[in-house]
A and B are shown apart, each in its own frame.
Chain A
Amino acid sequence: EAGVTQSPTHLIKTRGQQATLRCSPISGHTSVYWYQQALGLGLQFLLWYDEGEERNRGNFPPRFSGRQFPNYSSELNVNALELEDSALYLCASSSAGMRQTQYFGPGTRLLVL
């Protein structure tokens, strides 16, 4: 069974640009979560998508947004990039029957110059 996949693995952008990160969940999983792991700040919850809808968001500005597609894959968009957006962005998925058990992808490392 394939795990959670994320692309790209690395992304380099400059301030003010937009970044798009992609995530494919484990087959059969309907929930996708996005986390930011910045140096020294631990895992910060960003967004939760389930059945195509945004269900909850963490304490991040609106320039962090995303969507979930009918095949349950997901996209995270970060507009107007700032230097402090540099971080590892992790995607996780879970099944409808056990939402608390999250399986993580390898992450996308975003560097904003």
Chain B
Amino acid sequence: AQSVTQLDSQVPVFEEAPVELRCNYSSSVSVYLFWYVQYPNQGLQLLLKYLSGSTLVKGINGFEAEFNKSQTSFHLRKPSVHISDTAEYFCAVSPLNTGGFKTIFGAGTRLFVKA
């Protein structure tokens, strides 16, 4: 079985400051890893994904994440945030070679960017 822990439920940060949203996972099998963003009153938008290869993954809107297999982490980072990045961010893991129905989502981290 897999599990996902997003270590911070809320992260307040000032505009133009860097931010890191933390995600740890556990799994007995190899997994794909995802970050999604949900803006208020909208669905989830795929930010980035790690399937294989380079452990540093770049996504949309200037976000990137690093897969650390030894620490079973997939933290999301942005060097300089904007007010428009205020949203909820979800980390997700999905075991290889299965249907997407086995994707497990974290509880979400609410990023609040202050002026």
Contact = CB atoms under 8 A, between A and B. Distances in A.
Interface size class of B (residues with CB under 8 A): 20 to 34
Contact of B43 (A45, A50, A104): A104
A42 B107 contact: yes
Contacts of B36: 104
Interface residues of A, number: 25
B99 A90 contact: no
A102 B42 contact: no
Contacts of B32: 100-101
Interface stretch (B44-52, B54-62, B64-72): B44-52
B28 interface: no
Contacts of B96: 100
Contacts of A109: 41
Nearest to A32: B100
